[in-house]
């Protein structure tokens, strides 16, 4: 009887060891189980130097006031829509960015009727240089909304000015003035180091003049415009 009981206990011990061995191995060797690996994500750089290039569409240009000499009176003064292109560079530190940008617009038409009938006509191109600061408002799935503002200069060139009662001025005139802007946009970090930037900019361009040394001179004051821009940024660090 005692011998049978001993044999039974021995068999039970072997069975328990056999059943418990997978658990022991599982506890001792976690490497046998596949670990969860999160999918790779594109993350925005928190700081570093960057370069940028931009294309834009300048539209809805407004003229606050018109000063002129002689007669007739200009009516409905405007500058036509125009494409802009430019670039620059800057530095990003966490949620703060600062950069310098230069944007050139091709020749656009200045055209206005007069009272009585007649026309003022010319071509105008500009160079705008701004020092800008931005506040990035957080990043979600690689998309970063931001707001910003900038100050700098604008240089106007006028070409081929024609007035109703005066000689055609075939020379070009240049005038520089103070410029400033505010803007808002979205930047999408689509790959390491690369972001595409969609933005709106309200641009204030001061004043410009036509034919300043001849009769029928004309000056446009408080010029402002809306710009819709797309840009590409490359982080150097």
Q: Identify the pLDDT of residue 16.
A: 46
The mean pLDDT value of the chain amounts to: 81
How do residues 208-236 score in pLDDT, each as one tens digit?
888 766 667 788 899 999 999 999 999 99
Question: What does the pLDDT look like over 133-158, one tens digit per residue?
Answer: 999 999 999 999 999 999 999 999 98
pTM score: 0.77
Rounded Cα gap, residues 23 and 172, in angstroms: 89
Token duo for residue 110: 């200045």
Closest CA to 219 of 59, 58, 60, 64: 64
User: Structural domain boundaries of the chain?
Assistant: 2-32, 47-235
Q: 14 pLDDT exceeds 60?
A: no
Name the residue with higher pLDDT: 147 or 27: 147
Determine contact, residues 68/220, Cβ cutoff 8 Å.
no
CB atoms within 10 A of CB 127: 17
Q: What pLDDT, on the 0 to 100 scale, is given for residue 213?
A: 63
Percent of the chain with pLDDT over 90: 49
* Residues 164, 114 contacting (CB under 8 angstroms): yes
Average pLDDT over residues 49-77: 86
Q: Which residue has the higher pLDDT, 125 or 75?
A: 125
Among residues 33, 49, 82, 66, which one has the least CA distance to residue 225? 82
Q: What is the pLDDT of residues 169-186, one digit of tens each?
A: 677 888 999 999 999 999
Q: Which residue has the higher pLDDT, 73 or 147?
A: 147
Band of the pLDDT at 198, cuts 50, 70, 90? very high
Contacts 24+ apart (CB under 8 A), 193-197: 193/45, 193/234, 193/235, 193/236, 194/232, 194/233, 194/234, 194/235, 195/44, 195/144, 195/232, 195/233, 195/235, 196/230, 196/231, 196/232, 196/233, 197/52, 197/54, 197/229, 197/230, 197/231, 197/232, 197/233
- In terms of CATH architecture, what is 47-235? Beta Barrel (2.40)
Per DSSP, 1 falls in state -
């Amino acid at each position: 009887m005692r011998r049978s009981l001993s044999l039974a206990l021995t068999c039970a011990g072997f069975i328990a060891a056999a059943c418990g061995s997978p658990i022991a191995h599982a506890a001792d060797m976690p490497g046998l189980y596949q670990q969860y690996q999160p999918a790779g994500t594109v993350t925005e750089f928190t700081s570093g130097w960057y370069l940028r290039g931009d294309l834009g569409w300048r539209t809805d240009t407004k003229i606050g006031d018109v000063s002129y000499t002689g007669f007739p009176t200009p009516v409905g003064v405007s500058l036509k829509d125009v494409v802009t292109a430019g670039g620059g560079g800057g530095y990003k530190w966490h949620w703060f960015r600062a950069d310098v940008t230069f944007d050139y617009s091709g020749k656009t038409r200045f055209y206005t009727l007069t009272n009585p009938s007649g026309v003022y006509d010319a071509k105008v191109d500009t160079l705008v240089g701004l020092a800008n600061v931005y506040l990035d408002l957080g990043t979600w799935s690689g998309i970063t909304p931001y707001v910003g503002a900038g100050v700098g200069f604008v240089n106007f060139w006028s070409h081929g000015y024609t007035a109703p009662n005066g000689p055609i001025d075939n020379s070009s005139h240049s005038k520089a003035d103070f410029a400033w802007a505010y803007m808002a946009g979205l930047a999408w970090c689509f790959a390491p180091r690369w972001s595409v930037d969609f933005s709106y900019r309200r641009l204030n361009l001061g004043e410009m003049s036509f034919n300043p040394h001849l009769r029928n001179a004309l000056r446009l004051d408080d010029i402002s415009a809306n710009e819709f821009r797309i840009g590409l940024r490359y982080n150097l660090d």
